[in-house]
Amino acid sequence: MKAKDRELAALRARIAEISPSEAQRLQQQGAALIDVREADEIAQGSPPGALRLGRGFLELRVEEAVPDFDQPVVLMCNGGTRSLFAADSLARMGYSTLFSMVGGFSRWKAEGLPFEQPSQLDSLARQRYARHLTIPEVGEEGQAKLMASKVLLIGAGGLGCPAAFYLAAAGVGTLGFVDDDVVDRSNLQRQILHSEAKLGMAKVRSARQTVEALNPTVKVDTYETRLSSANVEEIFAGYDVVVDGSDNFPTRYLVNDACVKLGIPNVHGSVYRFEGQASVFWPGYAKRRGPCYRCLYPEPPPAEFAPSCMEAGVLGVLPGVIGLLEAVETIKLLLGVGDPLVGRLLCYDALKAEFRELELQPNPDCPYCAEGRAFPGYIDYEQFCHGA
């Protein structure tokens, strides 16, 4: 006989074992039902009202949960063995009336007794996201989805800052930032993750600090580099959504091509003075076939047609509006709710205070996203965009 079995036999002699239905009856009469299983087991279901203390922390937590040492206590685990050890330990602590539930949660469930799948959110998360939890489209399940999601922001600039700020507030689990720039005073008119005190600091570092101050539960990944054909797939791997807030055509085409290849939704935004546009380029969207960026713009404008620095400029709040539209689209995609901007270009004219929508169609001959095409490979994006 193994030592374990000798010990169990001795425990069974000392500790009363009861069936799940008897345990339920005792619980209804005021006994404490303590579930000592691990968190991943409890996530599969646990009796309503059970105290989920965990075997590892049981002795440290039990007194707070059951302050009356004469209150009857029923211990349960998954099969009825760990609960015997747990009951023995509580007996040594001084609890007077202890039971171990035979067959554990497996038998509880098999006998058709009620159980619930307890919250995946801790009490701090429940407070933080209280206004999400009351929305049926988000709720606990949706919030848990957001917390398990990963979003990559291309650029911690005018669009990336407001988008990331709200995605962090919303509890998106991981935010990645790709940017090789440092904070300049002229950024501060719109790039709201940065501040006067951070002038000269890498934007990705500044972004991390601000995001972590707002919501320390968000994991921030920083890539202080310029996106290139060589690093794009390594960086994009594992992200659920890419938010494009880049400032140059080579990056926009590269982001598009990588998203098409990897099947990642590309949430697009661009701004110019008082005008902005947002869309979602995601040929893989199941409900509607939309275009990729290349369907819309097969080629970038040559340098002589691209607006000069002198002409450019933007109302600081404008990328805020567009970046937040990108954030909203991102959250909808992560939750799988609503109708995304796939195949639709939403145009905002701040001077007119007007939103317009244009319909976008996929190009059936698109070399990157057309059906049945092999991915043609990454190209020299600088050459493609700035000419020979």
Partner 1 sequence: MSGTVVIRIPTPLRSYTNGADEVALEADTVGQALTTLALLHEGLGERILDADGKPRQFVNIFVGKADLRTLQGLGTSLAPGDVISIVPAVAGGRHEGEG
- Contacting positions for partner 1 (CB under 8 A): 155, 157-160, 181, 184, 186-187, 191, 244-249, 252, 269-275, 277, 296-301, 305-307, 309, 311-314, 319, 345, 347, 351-352, 356-361, 363
Pairing assessment for the beta strands 354-359 and 344-349 based on DSSP bridges: antiparallel
Which amino acid appears at position 18 of this protein?
I
Among all chains, which residue has been given the structure tokens 């959250």? 331
Among all chains, which residue has been given the structure tokens 């099947």? 263
**Beta-ladder partners of 98:** 73
- Between CA 64 and CA 353 the distance in angstroms is 58
Report the residue number, 96 or 361, with the smaller CB distance to partner 1.
361
Closest CA to 185 of 175, 174, 201, 196: 196
Which of 77, 161, 292, 309 does the annotation list as catalytic? Answer: 309
Q: How far is the CB of 308 from partner 1 (least distance, A)?
A: 9
Report the residue number, 274 or 285, with the smaller CB distance to partner 1.
274
Among all chains, which residue has been given the structure tokens 């990944």? 221
Report the residue number, 35 or 326, with the smaller CB distance to partner 1.
326
Q: How far is the CB of 179 from partner 1 (least distance, A)?
A: 9
- Between CA 243 and CA 262 the distance in angstroms is 14
Strands of 344-349's sheet, edge to edge? 219-223, 174-178, 150-154, 241-244, 266-272, 275-281, 344-349, 354-359
Q: How far is the CB of 53 from partner 1 (least distance, A)?
A: 50
Cβ-contact 275, 347 below 8 angstroms: yes
Report the residue number, 80 or 158, with the smaller CB distance to partner 1.
158
Cβ-contact 220, 207 below 8 angstroms: yes
Cα 230–382–386 angle (5° rounding)? 175
- Between CA 314 and CA 206 the distance in angstroms is 22
Report the residue number, 10 or 303, with the smaller CB distance to partner 1.
303
> From the CB of residue 164, how many other CB atoms can be counted at a distance below 10 Å?
33
Report the residue number, 162 or 171, with the smaller CB distance to partner 1.
162
Q: How far is the CB of 58 from partner 1 (least distance, A)?
A: 53
- Between CA 369 and CA 217 the distance in angstroms is 36
Based on the residue annotation, tell me whether 295 is a catalytic residue of this protein.
no
Give the catalytic positions in this structure.
Answer: 309
